[in-house]
């Protein structure tokens, strides 16, 4: 977890932390694996987690590294660009008996690619995922590609440890390429013929699911909604109209609502709709974890 540094000030964030906060808001029992420095931002981050009712016991304190931070700028459409600062506390997440015990008791584990940029944290995350897989837990990869902290081998290794893949339409070309799936060649391969851009996207998502041994692939498309590919086929959920303030954290809130719906055994169509409603509500306010509990759209907590 880290702090997003906007021109107007710092906000608590980081994709895993955003996901965790939104999952907790929706009633999930959440433990956060991360690391903070011995500094004011680190202490405040832990208090925020606890304020959301989360277990912060797995948040490690690192003496010689600061709490992570990211400089964020927004374009005219509210879409963010990130400059991620190096040498952060979350680069030093270590394995522990407490972490092992918590994984053995969990139903789902969420992870991304950025948290694996250091050797220490990468080893810890992958060990946790292997244990979760052996335990039969859901393993959710939200790729969240952030240059320059990923490459094709990292993408492939991460997908291999997951059974659910979440990505955005912006990320699809790079993820497909990393997995050896070519957009141009796709129509020439058996079972992957298409006649339009939309069905080409569906074919690519189906190829990712099949070749990578995934149970589900879900792709967000901004204002156009989301696509879900499963063994039962493709569900196309249109976007929920909203007035966009900024999009920071919208994908994380989507994933939190989506995964909680899966854990609760809800129908896929309902899960996808609620996830899009959640993301739409987040886009309508400023910040990755906006104050919506009292005043936001009722769909956010439905």
pLDDT digit string (tens) for the chain, length 302 residues: 899 888 888 888 889 999 999 999 999 999 999 999 999 999 999 999 999 999 999 999 999 999 999 898 888 877 778 889 889 999 999 999 999 999 999 999 999 999 999 999 999 999 999 999 999 999 999 999 998 999 999 999 999 999 999 999 999 999 999 999 976 544 444 444 444 455 789 999 999 999 999 999 999 998 999 999 999 999 999 998 888 877 777 899 999 999 999 999 999 999 999 999 999 988 887 665 654 333 333 333 33
State residue 296's pLDDT score: 32
State residue 289's pLDDT score: 65
- Measured distance CA(23)–CA(14) in Å, rounded: 14
* Residue in the structure block whose two tokens are 């925020």: 48
Strand 216-220, strand 226-230: pairing: antiparallel
Beta strands in the chain (DSSP E): 2-6, 9-13, 34-37, 59-62, 68-74, 80-84, 108-111, 138-142, 164-168, 216-220, 226-230, 233-237
- Measured distance CA(98)–CA(85) in Å, rounded: 28
- Measured distance CA(74)–CA(68) in Å, rounded: 20
- Measured distance CA(290)–CA(301) in Å, rounded: 13
**Structure-token pair, residue 268:** 């896929």
Strand 216-220, strand 164-168: pairing: parallel
Find out whether the peptide bond into 148 is cis, omega within 30 degrees of 0.
Answer: yes
- Measured distance CA(21)–CA(46) in Å, rounded: 12
**Structure-token pair, residue 292:** 């919506």
Dihedral-angle region of residue 139 (phi above 0 means left; psi in -120 to 50 means alpha; beta otherwise): beta
The upper half-sphere exposure of residue 276, i.e. CA atoms within 13 Å in the direction of its Cβ, equals 26
State residue 110's pLDDT score: 98
Cα torsion 23, 228, 134, 49 to 10°: value is -10
Containing 268, the helix (H) or strand (E) segment is helix 268-283
For the chain, helix (H) and strand (E) counts, in that order, are 9, 12
- φ and ψ at residue 156, rounded to 5 degrees: -65, -45
As a whole number of Å, the CA-based R_g of the chain is 18
Domains of the chain: 2-301 (3.40.1190.20)
CB contact at 8 A, 36 and 91: no
Going by C-alpha positions, the residue among 217, 212, 221, 184 that lies closest to residue 200 is 184
Tell me the angle at which helices 268-283 and 250-263 cross, rounded to the nearest 10 degrees. 150
Measured CA distances, 188 to 91, 150, 193, 205 (Å)? 43, 29, 7, 16
Question: pTM value?
Answer: 0.88
State residue 261's pLDDT score: 98
State residue 99's pLDDT score: 98
């Amino acid at each position: 977890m880290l702090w997003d540094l906007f021109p107007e000030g710092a906000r608590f964030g980081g994709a895993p932390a955003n996901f965790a906060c939104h999952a907790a808001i929706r009633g999930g029992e959440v433990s956060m694996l991360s690391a903070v420095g011995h500094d004011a931002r680190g202490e405040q981050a832990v208090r925020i987690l606890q304020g959301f009712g989360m277990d912060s016991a797995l948040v490690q304190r690192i003496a010689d590294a600061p709490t992570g931070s990211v400089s964020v700028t927004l374009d005219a459409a509210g879409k963010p660009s990130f400059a991620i600062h190096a040498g952060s506390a979350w680069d030093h997440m270590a394995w522990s008996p407490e972490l092992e015990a918590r994984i053995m008791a969990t139903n789902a584990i969420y992870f991304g690619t950025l948290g694996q940029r250091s050797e220490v944290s990468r080893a810890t995350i992958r060990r946790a995922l292997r244990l979760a897989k052996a335990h039969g837990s859901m393993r959710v990869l939200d790729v969240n590609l952030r240059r320059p902290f990923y490459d094709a081998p990292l993408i492939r290794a991460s997908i291999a440890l997951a059974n659910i893949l979440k990505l955005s339409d912006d990320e699809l070309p790079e993820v497909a390429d990393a997995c050896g799936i070519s957009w141009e060649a796709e129509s020439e391969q058996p079972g992957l013929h298409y006649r339009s851009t939309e069905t080409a996207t569906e074919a690519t998502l189906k190829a990712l699911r099949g070749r990578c041994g995934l149970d589900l692939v879900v792709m967000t498309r901004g204002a156009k909604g989301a696509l879900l590919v499963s063994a039962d086929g493709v569900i196309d959920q249109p976007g929920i109209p909203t007035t966009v303030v900024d999009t920071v954290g919208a994908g994380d809130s989507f994933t939190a609502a989506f995964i909680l719906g899966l854990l609760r055994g809800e129908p896929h169509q309902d899960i996808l709709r609620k996830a899009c409603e959640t993301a739409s509500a987040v886009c309508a306010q400023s910040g990755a974890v906006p104050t919506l509990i009292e005043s936001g759209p009722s769909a956010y907590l439905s």
